[in-house]
């Protein structure tokens, strides 16, 4: 192998490694610095704080956004079309956390949210027969 081809090969390995490092840095910057704090955001929002929003992707291709503010819990159901969208808001008092599991009474329905895995690596949400992950 010539010296030029070695430099090109070494350069491409360096570029690949730099790309991986850049992706890791961007992912760290975009994620919460403390996984436990992010996983607990639904039940630790201080009064007067902004709403903490979380997006869950469901097995049927739809999405559910959840948010907890000082006085309310919001569930935004997003289907495949704008007509399939439904927003539900209930008082914060209907959200109860026990042993890392959040349960919210929304009309006749119950929303269940729980962390799965160590340090809340994944969160599972079930609502109206949908199974969703974050």
Give the pLDDT confidence of 80-99 residue by residue, as tens digits. Answer: 777 889 999 999 999 998 88
For the purposes of burial, counting CB atoms within 10 Å of the CB of 123, is it exposed (0-12), middle (13-18) or buried (19 or more)?
buried
Is pLDDT above 50 for 28?
Answer: no
Domain boundaries along the sequence of the chain:
3-31, 36-133
Number of C-beta neighbours around residue 64 at 10 A: 23
Residue 67 makes CB contacts below 8 A (sequence gap 6+) with 51, 52, 53, 54, 73, 74, 76
- Helix (H) or strand (E) holding 10, with range, is helix 3-30
Contact 69/51 with Cβ under 8 angstroms? yes
3 state SS of 76 = strand
Is pLDDT above 60 for 1?
Answer: no
Residue 2: predicted pLDDT: 58
Q: Give the HSE-up count for residue 94: Cα atoms under 13 Å, Cβ half-sphere.
A: 17
Interstrand relation of 122-127 and 52-58 (parallel, antiparallel or unpaired): unpaired
Closest to 42 (Cα-Cα) out of 128, 120, 108: 120
Confidence band of 22 (pLDDT split at 50, 70, 90)? very low
Residue 52: predicted pLDDT: 81
Mean pLDDT of 49-75: 89
């Amino acid at each position: 192998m010539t010296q030029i081809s070695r430099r090109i090969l070494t350069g491409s390995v360096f570029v690949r490694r730099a790309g991986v490092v850049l992706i890791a840095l961007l992912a760290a910057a975009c994620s919460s610095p403390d996984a436990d704090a992010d996983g607990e955001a639904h039940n630790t929002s201080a009064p007067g704080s902004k709403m903490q929003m979380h997006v869950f992707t469901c097995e049927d291709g739809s999405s559910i956004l959840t948010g907890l503010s000082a006085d309310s819990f919001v569930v935004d159901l997003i289907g495949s079309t704008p007509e399939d969208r439904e927003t539900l808001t209930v008082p914060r008092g209907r959200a109860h956390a026990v042993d890392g599991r959040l349960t919210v009474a929304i009309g006749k329905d119950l929303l269940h949210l729980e962390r799965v895995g160590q340090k809340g690596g994944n969160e599972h949400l079930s609502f109206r027969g949908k199974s969703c992950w974050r």
